[in-house]
């Protein structure tokens, strides 16, 4: 197995740093991210507020650091929900085939037929504008790729000799699916999960940007970018820094996904 390159180490270190900040949450923030301080409104970046303050005098650095926990937590909830649904649908569909496979795959085709963001927006609008509903909406449109990935692998694996031997020895369907087939799907699933963290974050931020996700005063990056855009020409830092946080996080986790793909598939 080849050694990691310097840029790969940098990517992993960046992703690890983001996860550490997410674990610490508001404890890593220098100031209270929700505390109003109107005399300090629109203060540009300096030593005391190194990312400036917003229109209510709240420290932007503290809000972005706290928002890291919200961003990572949202992505994990979305992906875990999508993975659980996708694995169950893919296992059942691929293992049993026939009319069961036909029904599940046609349902997934309905979700895939619409652009993910548009369908998530429609679901979020129907449920109501808040972050929890946004996560439900995104998870609802995120599971079909996982279902198809698992189904394709199951169709291949279920014909292997060791699977037939397990059945011949009296192994039930649940044992075959979860004890013998599912463990062999971990590598492609891990690669897919790490590659999906970035897109899930962008989708969550996009819904918050248009008002269908997190609501003020929640320090969510997408809503911060949206709110700061009206001041972009005079107070550039209000949108620039949360936008940079989204960019760096997506870049880091996409890089980790690419590293895992190269190493696990080689």
* pTM (predicted TM-score): 0.90
| pLDDT cut 90: percent of the chain above it | 60
User: Minimal CA–CA distance to 89: which of 143, 21, 30, 8?
Assistant: 143
Q: Is 104 within the bounds of a domain?
A: yes
pLDDT at residue number 217: 87
Find the CATH number of the domain harbouring 88: 1.10.3720.10
Number of structural domains, the chain?
Answer: 1
Q: Is 31 within the bounds of a domain?
A: yes
- List, for residues 109-143, the tens digit of each pLDDT value: 988 888 888 889 999 999 998 999 999 999 999 99
pLDDT at residue number 22: 94
Contact 28, 67 (CB under 8 A): no
Q: Is 1 within the bounds of a domain?
A: no
Structural domain of 106: 6-264
Both tokens assigned to 255: 């890089």
pLDDT at residue number 173: 82
Rounded distance, CA 17 to CA 248, Å?
11
For 231, which DSSP code? G
Average pLDDT, the chain: 90
pLDDT-based confidence at residue 2 (cuts at 50, 70, 90):
low
Mean pLDDT of 171-185: 86
Both tokens assigned to 114: 């619409």
Rounded distance, CA 12 to CA 129, Å?
34
Q: Is 134 within the bounds of a domain?
A: yes
pLDDT at residue number 15: 94
Both tokens assigned to 237: 């830092």
- List, for residues 84-106, the tens digit of each pLDDT value: 999 999 999 999 988 999 999 99
Contact 261, 205 (CB under 8 A): no
Mean pLDDT of 212-218: 88
Residue 181 scores a pLDDT above 70:
yes
- List, for residues 11-64, the tens digit of each pLDDT value: 999 999 999 999 998 899 999 999 998 899 999 999 989 999 999 999 999 999
Beta bridge partners of 59: 53
pLDDT-based confidence at residue 1 (cuts at 50, 70, 90):
low
Beta bridge partners of 46: none
3-state class (DSSP) for residue 53? strand
pLDDT-based confidence at residue 160 (cuts at 50, 70, 90):
confident
């Amino acid at each position: 197995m080849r050694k990691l390159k310097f840029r790969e180490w940098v990517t992993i270190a960046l992703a690890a740093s983001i996860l550490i900040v997410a674990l610490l949450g508001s404890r890593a923030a220098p100031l209270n991210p929700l505390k109003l301080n109107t005399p300090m409104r629109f203060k540009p970046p300096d030593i005391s507020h190194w990312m400036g303050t917003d229109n209510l005098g709240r420290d932007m650095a503290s809000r972005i650091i706290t928002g890291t926990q919200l961003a990572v937590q949202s992505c994990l909830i979305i992906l875990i929900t999508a993975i659980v649904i996708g694995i169950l649908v893919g296992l059942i569909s691929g293992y049993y085939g026939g009319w069961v496979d036909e029904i599940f795959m046609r349902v997934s085709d309905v979700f895939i037929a619409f652009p993910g963001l548009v369908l998530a927006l429609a679901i979020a609008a129907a449920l109501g504008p808040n972050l929890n509903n946004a996560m439900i909406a995104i998870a609802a449109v995120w599971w079909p790729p996982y279902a198809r990935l698992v189904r394709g692998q199951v169709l291949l694996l279920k014909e292997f000799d060791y699977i037939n031997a397990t059945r011949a020895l009296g192994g039930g369907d649940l044992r075959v699916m979860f004890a013998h087939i599912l463990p062999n799907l971990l590598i492609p699933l891990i690669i897919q999960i790490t590659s999906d963290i970035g897109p899930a974050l962008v989708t969550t931020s996009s819904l918050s940007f248009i008002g269908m996700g997190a609501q003020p005063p929640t320090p969510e990056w997408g809503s911060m970018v949206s709110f700061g855009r009206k001041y972009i020409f005079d107070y550039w830092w209000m949108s620039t820094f949360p936008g940079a946080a989204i960019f760096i996080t997506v870049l880091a986790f996409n890089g980790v996904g690419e590293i895992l793909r190269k190493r696990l598939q080689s």
